[in-house]
Amino acid sequence: MKAHRFFLAAYAAATTLFLSGAASAADRPALERWRSYAGVSWDAAAGGRDRAPFAGSVGAPIAGIHFDAHGRAFVSTPRLVSADSPATLSILDTGAATGPARLTAFPSAAANAVSGAPDSHLRNVLGFYIDKRNGWLWALDQGFVAGEASAPKGGQKIMVFELYTGKLVKTITLDAVADRKGSFLNDIVVDEARRIAYVSDSGLRSAPANQAGLIVVDFGTGRARRLLDRHASLMPQPGVKVMSHGEEVWPGKPLVLGVNGIALSPDGQTLYWTVTTGTHAYAMPTALLRDPRAGKAALARAIRDLGEVGGNTDGIVTDAEGRLCITDVSRNGIVEYDPRTGSMELLAADEGVHWPDTPAIGPDGRLVFTSSNLNRHFAGQVKPGEERYELWRVSRK
């Protein structure tokens, strides 16, 4: 009888666990492949037909995405794999659901000319920010392009453009706070009310001794300050490998990437960041970062470790309710951190997602993220004509 009762109790417990797990999976938001494109194109469409894809599209992965107040989608095609992309910052026609991704250079093809003066042309944009309050686009230019060992003088910069005219508002050089050989200016987020930008420098080009740091930029004064240089919370985590679809990224020459995604709470009071070659998320009050009198020790003490994300990460964004959404490249999906409860959980995932890159809040409030396949582009594993540039969308129930 005791054995029988034990069996029944164990069966009931297992059933409860199974049902709760099934319910948890059923309660997860729906994840859909919203747009899927074969290659990219900057050509004009002819006769209503799909555009011909750019011949070098294999070297122009779509990485970053953000939306303006009218729903226009802006994307970055960083010149990390190849320098010959017609533009590194463009507007994507999300109304098209077939053919290559239809891009229009922003603010113009001429402004994106890689042969132009480095201090006045967009050379290599990965991170950028849509500033709805001021009607601006802040473009973070890494300065160097594929094949260059060092960013040319003046190439590392932030260029601020008017969203609807493309007119240049201001250029802020970053050469004094970023190393032209070792820095990797990855992502940018902006406190729109204060006109303060926060930039993540992953230090990838100086790996494995990454010159990682945070850069704080004041639009009004044009002053840029480098903070928390090589602090442990910004550096690659010892012993951690970057995994994608169950395999190590670039075995033998592993990816060693420091601070990557960077985001602000809706009130601008908290800065969040993640480290790709790592598994944790971090936060700290921006008041200290804005205070030029704050010393290294005070800044370091203010950093909070939010705990394990669950996998390696890339981009992050906060929604209107202050929840932090993190792309998880190891589990092919999105993780959500709720600052009100401190909970960190996998929000949605799909085996069809290949390197979830940049998340953004779409015009309807839903989360959209790029699936850039960036690790395979870098490794030369994507063949011309076989590129897929995909946008995934998360719908909370």
Contact criterion met (CB below 8 Å) for 39 and 387: yes
Tokens matching residue 380: 């030369």
Tokens matching residue 313: 């990460």
Antiparallel, parallel or unpaired: β 333-338 and 168-173: unpaired
The per-residue pLDDT for 239 is 94
Whether 294 maps to a domain, the answer reads yes
CA distance 4 to 8: 6
The per-residue pLDDT for 46 is 66
- Residue for token pair 């910004």: 234
CA distance 285 to 296: 14
What CATH number is attached to the domain comprising 347?
2.120.10.30
Contacts of 206 (CB under 8 A, 6+ apart): 179, 181, 182, 183
Tokens matching residue 172: 């802020």
Whether 247 maps to a domain, the answer reads yes
CA distance 288 to 174: 21
Whether 339 maps to a domain, the answer reads yes
115: Cα within 13 Å, side-chain hemisphere: 4
Tell me which DSSP letter residue 396 carries.
-
Whether 173 maps to a domain, the answer reads yes
How distant, in Å, are the alpha carbons of 261, 290, 297 from that of 226? 17, 11, 15
The per-residue pLDDT for 8 is 37
Give me the domain span that covers residue 101: 34-395
Reading the chain (397 residues) residue by residue, the pLDDT tens digits are 434 443 334 434 443 433 444 435 556 677 999 999 999 999 876 666 777 889 999 999 999 999 999 999 999 999 999 999 999 999 999 998 888 999 999 999 999 999 999 999 999 999 999 999 999 999 999 999 999 999 999 999 999 999 999 999 999 999 999 999 999 999 999 999 999 999 999 999 999 999 999 999 999 999 999 999 999 999 999 999 999 999 999 998 999 999 999 999 999 999 999 999 999 999 999 999 999 999 999 999 999 999 999 999 999 999 999 999 999 999 999 999 999 999 999 999 999 999 999 999 999 999 999 999 989 988 888 888 888 999 999 987 5
Contact criterion met (CB below 8 Å) for 141 and 155: yes
Q: How many domains does the chain contain in total?
A: 1
The per-residue pLDDT for 159 is 98
Pick from 381, 357, 189: which is nearest to 257 by CA?
357
In residues, how long is the chain? 397
Pick from 194, 157, 382: which is nearest to 286 by CA?
194
The per-residue pLDDT for 348 is 95
Contact criterion met (CB below 8 Å) for 370 and 390: yes
How distant, in Å, are the alpha carbons of 183, 192, 212, 231, 347 from that of 179? 5, 27, 10, 16, 37
CA distance 210 to 231: 10
Q: Is 174 exposed, middle or buried (0-12, 13-18, 19+ CB in 10 A)?
A: buried
Tokens matching residue 32: 């859909």
Whether 230 maps to a domain, the answer reads yes
Whether 27 maps to a domain, the answer reads no
CA distance 77 to 92: 11
Whether 28 maps to a domain, the answer reads no
Tokens matching residue 93: 């026609």
- Encode 184-218 in three state secondary structure: CEEEEEEECCCCEEEEEECCHHHCCCCCCEEEEEE
> Helix or strand or coil: residue 356?
strand
Whether 317 maps to a domain, the answer reads yes
Pick from 304, 371, 355: which is nearest to 62 by CA?
371
Q: What is the CA radius of gyration of the chain?
A: 21
**Which amino acid is present at 186?**
N
**C-alpha of 371 from chain center:** 11
Kind plus residue range of the DSSP H or E element containing 32: strand 30-37
